[in-house]
Structure 1
Amino acid sequence: MTEYLVRFVAGGLMVSVFAIFGDMLRPKSFAGLLGAAPSVALATLGIAVVQHGPQYAAADSWTMIYGAIALACYSLVVCHLLMRSRLGALPATILAFAVWLVVAFGLLAGLGGAA
């Protein structure tokens, strides 16, 4: 129960800090970008350091980096399929999800991580 309380407080605090930071930037769309993922990742890594030590948190952070790279590839493929190939949103996202899987698990298998 204590772990969930710590996660709740740490996550909420980080989301609030990033939301304030994002609100100060222009354009305002950065507020949403900075509101969730970085704050939750930092809270998760902080808890991982406390519970499992820095080696575990380091491996965890690498898998987060691989996921971010895979998300960037996914986003580029979706944009390409929507804009240039004139594919519909659902088929484009399904095809791009396959790209995300290949990139994410390829990086994990090739470079290692927490798995």
Structure 2
Amino acid sequence: MMDAILRFLIGGLVVSVFAILGDMIKPESLGGVFAAAPTIAFATLSLTLHKHGAAYIAIEARSMVAGAIAFFVYACCVSFILVRWRPKSLMAAITLMPVWFATAAAIWALWLRR
């Protein structure tokens, strides 16, 4: 129960900070990007540090970075396809999901597997 309360408080504080940063950055539509994932990651890592220690969260943080890199590659591919050939967004997003999974698998095989 205490973990949930801490996660709520940390998440609320960090969301507020990132929302302010999002308002300062142009275009303002990026505000949502800054408010979502970093907040969850920060809250999760801080609570995990308290429970499991620094070595454990180092692995977790590395995994989060790998997932973000894989998603970035996927998003760039989807963006390129949408601009280049103008298919329906849902079709491009679903069709290119194997790019995301393959990138994540490659990062795991080259960097995370131990």
With normalisation by structure 2, the TM-score equals 0.88
Q: Deviations over 1:2-24 (max 9, x none)?
A: 11111111111111111122222
> Could you tell me which residue of structure 1 aligns to residue 31 of structure 2?
31
Shift, 1:62, TM fit: 0.7
What percentage of aligned pairs have identical amino acids? Answer: 40
Q: Which residue of 2 aligns with 1:7?
A: 7
State how 1:25-104 maps to structure 2 within 5 Å: 25-104=25-104
Q: Residue deviations 1:27-74, cap 9 Å, x none?
A: 322322211111221111111111111111111111111111111111
In 1: Cα distance, 2:43 partner to 2:59 partner = 15
Q: Distance in 2 between matches of 1:109 and 1:4?
A: 34
Q: 3-state DSSP class of the match of 2:108?
A: helix
User: Which string of whole-angstrom CA distances, capped at 9 and with x for unpartnered residues, describes residues 67-109 of structure 1?
Assistant: 1111111111111222223332222111221110111122112
What CA distance in whole angstroms lies between the structure 2 residues aligned with 1:51 and 1:25?
35
Residues in 2 aligned to 1:24 and 1:90: alpha-carbon distance in whole angstroms: 30
Structure 2: state its 5+ residue gaps. none
3-state SS, counterpart of residue 79 of structure 1: helix
TM-score (norm 1): 0.87
CA distance, structure 2, for counterparts of residue 21 and residue 51 of structure 1:
30
Q: Which moved more, 1:83-92 or 1:55-64?
A: 83-92
Quick one: structure 1 residues 21 and 107, their matched pair in 2 at CA, closer, same or farther if it must change by over 3 Å?
same
Q: Between Structure 1 and Structure 2, how many residues are aligned? A: 114
1:17 aligns with 2:17: yes
Q: Cα RMSD between the aligned structures?
A: 1.7
